[in-house]
Amino acid sequence: MQQEHKINDEDISEKFPQFSEFVSTCFHGICTRKQLFKRIPVLQWLPSYKVEYLLADIVAGLSVALTVIPQGIAYAAIANLDPQYGLYSAFMGCFIYFLLGSCKDVTIGPTAIMSLMVQAHVGNTGVEFAILSAFVTGCMILLLGVLNLGFLVQFISYPVTAGFTSAAAITIASGQIKSLLGISGQSNEFLESWINVFQQIQDIRLWDSVLGVSTIIILLILMQMKNMKGNSCWRMVGKYITLSRNAIAVISGSLLAYVLSDVGNVQPFLLTGNVTPGLPPFQLPPFTTSLDGQVFSFTEMIAELGTSLITLPLIAILESIAIAKAFSKGKPIDATQEMIALGISNIAGSFVSSMPVTGSFTRSAVNNNSGVRTQFGGIITGAVVLLALGLLAESFYYIPKATLAGVIIAAMFFMVEFRAAVEIWHTKRVDIIPMTSTLLACLLLGLEYGMLVGIGVNVCIILQQISRPIVVPVRLTIDGTDVLILQPDQSLVYSSAEYLKYHVLKQANKYPDAIIVLDGSHISSLDTTVAKVFVSMSQDVEHSNRRIVYWKWKRPAQCTLLRMERKLFQNLFRNDENLQKIIQEGLSNQQTTVAV
């Protein structure tokens, strides 16, 4: 028998010193106390927690809970899932963000946009696909966070984001019209929703419609209660009525349905139905499932999720980081930490049957307006949601679908970016093109394709601007000699080369006796195509017995041209600020092309 040899750290260090040094370098600083406190923010703020913060956090936590419970039920309906799955998502998001979140105002949970995107991909394939999408989304977000790739969302511009958000709000509201009017239908897409309404217009239920429209009106009225005038007591009452308006609407609708159903023995409204009571089951995400007798392996489930594997993480990151920045009050936001918190929230949520989650602007605003002091408010919200699942699940049966539809539609009024459109129009009108393109494409093609269209249009506009540098001609007379100064306003890339050559030669032909001075103050770099075009342009000027001057060019750009054609350019560059001196030197040299 061979003698066993136990390998310890000293053996590795002695036999593989390079490997040991590599490992030490990779993990140096990762497990330090500073990094631990940075990546688990609860360790920073909890030891310094003050008792006077408790009341404010409890009030904020209760206010958010009164908002998230009806929203969780409603957003689950958008995703074509049973109501309890929206509540599972809400409580797990609250608990994880309590531990890992870096912004006290942000709340993590189901949102309208995420629910709509889940419905688009997995709404007809079963809850197992929605839970798996939460797990995969969390893994993707966590990976992007660990690799510090959050900068990718910076390629999605403000106009594209505004168009996407507006389109999502319109799509979500359109998808709820069927519930508002009491008619059947499965799709939540914009066109399909309205086609379904017109096809079933004769089946509209009167009392569902009355209740839904009344809910919207009441919510808009309650929204204005925060502006109530009077003493501080009445203003405080108005403030908390506004904050709890969704809960008030849902409770009122449920009581009305209960009284009419159990006391009056009539059921004029379509109801939410049974909600599974109790705590969510703690189990592994479904890596395999069966649907309609067909067994799906993990790879087949991933293939079924399709483009949502990319769009869901990107939208989740975009929403969450944007909300954190909005409520940071100028403080720097650790985007990596927010992505880690969001990723782990989705991963942990998948173990309790959660759908994908992200930051909610509505609930974060409620949290902020309620005066939350720390992330401890999230624990209160999560606890209330769990109590509701355990004690109030049976009462959720009586929530009218029209009431939930009214709650969602009223919330969507404030998601349409009318103000952003006005700002963009006043700031830079060309940016209205990507916003409008994104809006229309999202409505007609779907959210993920619409965002790709918007990004593509935005990139095309940027490329067009890059390929069309502004060159303003300035004509001077120095010692009786005409001088034409041409200064491009930006660095040059291959797409702008021929345009610049055409513009320079066009201006030069207007003044055939002028010395051409090409000012390179703003040109920091060139590519091969641009260098090749400059060679051609200089030779054309030389053949026409004209003089050209390369003035104030930066060293990297000079080196590129010299490497391309040293003989042609080696005597052409000068950085002297005195242009008169340069022109005089050129004239005294009696050269066809002024050496500058």
Q: Name residues whose C-beta falls within 8 Å of residue 383's C-beta, 6 or more positions apart in sequence.
A: 61
336-363 mean pLDDT: 91
Which amino acid does the sequence have at 103? C
Residues 111-144: b if buried by 16+ CB within 10 A, e if exposed: bbbbbbbbbbbbbebbbbbbbbbbbbbbbbbbeb
> By the 8 A CB rule, do 309 and 315 touch?
no
**pLDDT value of position 261:** 83
| Of 469, 474, 502, 501, nearest in space to 486 by CA | 474
In the chain, what percentage of residues exceed pLDDT 90? 20
**pLDDT value of position 26:** 45
**pLDDT value of position 285:** 92
Q: What is the value of pTM for the model shown?
A: 0.76
Please write the tens of the pLDDT for every residue from 566-577. 888 877 787 776
**pLDDT value of position 587:** 54
Distance from C-alpha of 211 to C-alpha of 69, rounded to nearest angstrom: 20
Q: Is the dihedral of CA 132, 136, 141, 145 positive or negative?
A: positive
Mean pLDDT highest for which of 27-31, 80-84, 99-103, 213-217?
Answer: 213-217
**pLDDT value of position 140:** 93
Please write the tens of the pLDDT for every residue from 203-217. 899 999 999 999 999
261-280 mean pLDDT: 82
pLDDT at 555 over 50: yes
21 pLDDT band (50/70/90 cuts)? Answer: low
588 pLDDT band (50/70/90 cuts)? Answer: low
In the chain, what percentage of residues exceed pLDDT 70? 91
pLDDT at 19 over 60: no
368-393 mean pLDDT: 88
